Amino acid sequence: MKDYSPRPDLLAGRVILVTGASSGLGRAASLSFARHGATVALLARNEAKLEAVYDEIVAAGGPEPAMFPYDLGAADDRSLETLAGTIAHHLKRLDGLLHSAHQFYSLTPLHLQTLEQWQALMRVNLIAPFALTRACLPLLQQSADASVVFTGETHGHQPSAYWGGYAVAKSGLETLTRIWADELGAEKNLRINTLIPGPVATTLRSRTHPGLSPETVPDTDALMPWYLYLLGEDSRAVQGQIVECQP
């Protein structure tokens, strides 16, 4: 899939919601989706950073995006349903949802991780993606071809020491993917998958591996073929899969 070559108008006419759109892979994906014709609904906590991504898309000539400053750590059913209703009212449709927002503290032995930290890790990395998808499900089901992509993590897929609650939450996304795909069954217009980026040059990588040079891993743009494939119509047959960008 790394050699996948998307056509320039792959996402034309589509509306795609991206969480964590203000930085890292979420930002890169938002810019890439817009370059391929999508109207991107940008969601993140930091409004100033969202505005910067918004301006970058507009300056590049992409479809005018929408901004949704929102803290997934404080999400509840009512506010998420309001968010989905706002998307429906202003953008009229939803054809894709990329969950790229994350919460991370540090690499720490389990016995030093607190209940409060675990609650935040589960809430942002697992519970909020489930709840946001559930709130958006009626809108996604109205699309002729909709795709939901959860962002997994290498150490959630293959657990190892010190990744703790973050890895546990990310591993839960894989189970959630398979259950939801199984429940959708014969519903051919909506697919749900998990994408594991693997090592990539982001701020998170610099925190977990501070001694390694960013040049030793791919940059965010190098992974965009996977993102475009899973959010575009060419992946219609891919359902309930755990896809590793760098297996």
Domain count, the chain: 1
* Annotation marks residue 227 as catalytic: no
* pLDDT at residue 5 tops 80: yes
Going by pLDDT thresholds of 50, 70 and 90, the confidence category of residue 175 is: very high
Which of 4, 105, 162, 166 is an active site residue? 166
Does the residue 132 lie in any domain? no
Residue 228 in domain? yes
Range of the domain at 195: 15-112+143-244
The CATH number for 188's domain is: 3.40.50.720
Note the pLDDT tens digit of each residue in 185-225. Answer: 877 899 999 999 877 755 665 555 555 555 666 778 889 99
DSSP 14-76: -EEEEETTTSHHHHHHHHHHHHTTPEEEEEES-HHHHHHHHHHHHHTTPPP-EEEE--GGG--
Q: What is the pLDDT of residues 29-38, one digit of tens each?
A: 999 999 999 9
Sequence-distant (6+) residues with CB within 8 A of 244 are 154, 157, 196, 198
In a domain? residue 7: no
Cβ within 8 Å of residue 214, ≥6 positions away: 201, 205, 206
Give the CA distances from residue 31 to residues 16, 125, 147, in Å, rounded to whole numbers and listed in that order: 11, 22, 18
Does the pTM surpass 0.85? The reply is yes
* pLDDT given for residue 180 in this prediction: 97
